[in-house]
Amino acid sequence: MCSVCAAIVANSCRSAGDEKYTPRVQAEPATPSAPFGRDVIETIIPHRDPFLFLDEVTELEPGRRVVARKGVRPDEWFFPGHFPDRPIMPGVIMVEALAQAGAVAVLSLAENRGKLALFAGIDDVRFKRIVEPGDELTLTCEVEAVRGPVGKGRVEARVGDELAVRGTLTFAAQ
């Protein structure tokens, strides 16, 4: 029995002869409305601690645009080694946080649910500001082009009004 038929049989509470009979079919999960936190983020992307670098999604246009937030805590796992006397958030972690934000935009589309968004390229990335404990990153990804499973997004991270990093990320959804 297909999943739709099983849902109809399992969820039907009236007989087919009843004039009020309406089979109830389980619908696709709704796209979440921003803002939302880590509990919802974890239903969209597969990342988990200690490698989940998003705290909140504040704006979402599925498949087009996302704005997320990452509070940089003094107890982050990477600070003791980068650097012991001057903790600075590693650039690769900032790029990963941007990629995770972009993954939320792409994987929140119904046709991409349950897929992975994998790096296919990192272009023109420039670091403009040091990010330290106590800073709050605002991460933005604008999806510019998608052709089949491959797409590109223009990304930037800011601390307040100051640009911290910008670039273009290429992804493949599979």
> Which residues are annotated as catalytic?
82
**44 burial type by CB count under 10 A (0-12 exposed, 13-18 middle, 19+ buried):** buried
Side-chain-side CA neighbours of 125 within 13 Å: the count stands at: 18
| Reduced 3-state DSSP string for 11-39 | HCCCCCCCCCCCCCCCCCCCCCCCCEEHH
Q: How far apart are CA 62 and CA 54, in angstroms?
A: 17
